[in-house]
């Protein structure tokens, strides 16, 4: 496997090398935009923009479900974000199908690739595994990640055992909260 040519901390002396690697090794449609490579979301490619704080759980579920694909992290003025790249497999999605916090990126969009300032690979692409995961599978993972609280509720101490929410195995063996009915 050849190394991804440029990372955020590398010296980007030759952007041509990065473009050639993305094109030749990955088969991606990339152009220079503002001096850095950008991936064109064409030919069945899409992306899902989501809060970066979901990444650890999403990456774990993706690994368990063998839905691994390239994920790019971005610094943002509001909160850090991540983009999971996927293959549409001729499925048509709309923003209304996305869980809260997820933005669907589609044609004719572009995704800046590292070494663009403020971007870095969270999961690097591999030229030996050029095929992107199914968009349906990635969306399923992000729907599950969106349902799991990522920050603890403030102002409360730990709940006594008998007041803890009931759980059952969910996607990838991760616990899923079961809502109890109250009379």
**Residue 156 placed within a domain:** no
**Residue 183 placed within a domain:** no
- Determine the longest span between alpha carbons in the chain, in angstroms: 67
Cβ of 156: how many Cβ atoms within 10 Å?
Answer: 7
Q: Give the model's pLDDT for residue 179.
A: 53
**Residue 94 placed within a domain:** yes
**Residue 110 placed within a domain:** yes
Beta bridge partners of 119: 74
**Residue 60 placed within a domain:** yes
Integer Cα distance of 71 and 52 in angstroms: 10
Per-residue pLDDT of the chain (183 residues; tens, 9 = 90+): 444 544 444 455 567 888 888 999 999 999 988 888 899 998 889 999 999 999 999 999 999 988 889 999 988 778 899 999 999 988 888 899 999 999 999 888 999 988 777 788 999 998 888 889 999 999 999 999 999 876 544 544 444 444 444 555 555 555 555 555 555
Q: Give the model's pLDDT for residue 173.
A: 55
Q: Give the model's pLDDT for residue 162.
A: 43
Domain holding 60, by residue range, is 15-147
Q: Give the model's pLDDT for residue 47.
A: 95
Report how many domains make up the chain: 1
Burial zone of 86 (CB within 10 Å; 0-12 exposed, 13-18 middle, 19+ buried) = buried
Q: Token pair of 73, please?
A: 């992290």
């Amino acid at each position: 496997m050849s190394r991804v040519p440029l990372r955020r901390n590398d010296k980007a002396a030759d952007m041509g090398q990065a473009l050639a690697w993305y094109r030749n090794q990955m088969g991606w449609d990339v152009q220079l935009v503002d001096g850095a490579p950008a991936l064109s979301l064409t030919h069945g490619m899409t992306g899902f923009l989501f809060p970066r704080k979901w990444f650890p759980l999403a990456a774990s579920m993706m690994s368990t479900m063998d839905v691994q694909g390239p994920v790019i992290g971005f610094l943002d003025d509001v909160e850090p974000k991540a983009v999971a790249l996927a293959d549409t497999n001729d499925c048509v999605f709309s923003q209304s199908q996305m869980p809260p916090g997820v933005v669907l990126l589609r044609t004719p969009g572009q995704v800046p690739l590292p070494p663009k300032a403020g971007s870095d690979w969270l999961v690097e692409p591999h030229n030996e595994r050029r095929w992107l995961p199914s968009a349906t599978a990635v969306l399923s993972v992000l729907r599950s990640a969106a349902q799991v609280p990522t920050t603890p509720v403030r102002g409360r101490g730990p709940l006594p055992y008998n007041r803890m929410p009931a759980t059952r195995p969910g996607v990838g063996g991760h616990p899923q909260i079961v809502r109890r009915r109250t009379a």
